[in-house]
Amino acid sequence: MNKENSILNGPPITILLVEDEPAHAEIVRRNLSAFPVAHRLIHVGDGQMALDYLLRQEGYADPVCSPRPELILLDLRLPKVDGLEVLRQIKSSRDLETIPTVVLTTSATDSDLAAAYSLGARSYQLKPANFEGFTELLDTNYRPASGKQRVSHE
């Protein structure tokens, strides 16, 4: 992949990271920190906060402080409202359904993955030790305004 043309090196986009495990959030942040694209990484720690942010509720009412994400990284196991429910609400909202959503999981055999795909998740990212290939995955998946595409990731 030509890194020069990569989306990762393009203008920053707003990424919403929904991850309850602070260590995992830190890993994502560190992985993306090298790339200009991720300079607007917003992290929320549970499903309810994710919905509040996306639906501009509670403390996220201000559209300037809470810009609409162009990519969502979503953990499935979340407190309060679980990841599948967040995904369901994203996909049933006319405003949000077009935002590409990538599911984060530690297991490729997660039964929730199939459910996530059927709900319209764009792809999934295993949480291996080094998030290997994570940046490539983002690059492959994030195509603003492009049609849906699915990438299976071994």
Partner 1 sequence: MKKNPRNVECATPKEPTLRELAEGVFQENATQVPEQVMPPEATRRTLHELRVHQIQLEMQNEELRRTQAELDIVRARYFDLYDMAPVGYCTLDEQGLILESNLTAAILLGVARTALVTKPISGFILREDHDIYYLHRKQLFETGVAQTCELRMVKPDGTTFWAHLDGNAARDEEGAPVCRLVLSDITALKRHEEKILQLSQAVEQSPALIIITNRDGEIEYVNPKFCAVTGFTREEVMGRNPRILKSGDKEPEDYREMWTTLLAGNEWRGEFHNRKKSGEVYWESSSISPIRNAAGEIAHFLAVKEDITERKRTEKALQEKIAEMERFTFTVSHDLKSPLVTIKTFLGYLEEDVRAQKMDAADRDLAYIHGAADKMGCLLDEVLDLARIGHKMNSPVNAPLQGIVQEALELVAGQIAGRGVRVEVTQEPVWLTGDRPRLVAIFENLLDNAVKFLGDQPAPRVEIGVETEGCELVLFVRDNGKGIDTRHRAKLFGLFEKLDPHSPGSGMGLAMVRRIVEVHGGKIWVQSDGVGRGATFRFTLAKTQLKSNETNSHE
Contacts with partner 1, residue ranges (CB under 8 A): 20-24, 26-27, 30, 45, 77, 79-80, 106-107, 109-111, 127-131
Q: Two tokens at 23?
A: 């260590």
C-alpha–C-alpha distance, residues 45 and 22, integer Å: 8
The smaller minimum CB distance to partner 1, of residues 89 and 99, is found at 89
Task: State the DSSP code for 146.
Answer: P
The smaller minimum CB distance to partner 1, of residues 35 and 134, is found at 134
Q: Two tokens at 40?
A: 């607007």
The smaller minimum CB distance to partner 1, of residues 98 and 107, is found at 107
DSSP collapsed to 3 states, 77-92: CCCCCCHHHHHHHHHC
Tell me the closest approach of the beta carbon of residue 67 to partner 1, in angstroms: 27
Tell me the closest approach of the beta carbon of residue 20 to partner 1, in angstroms: 6
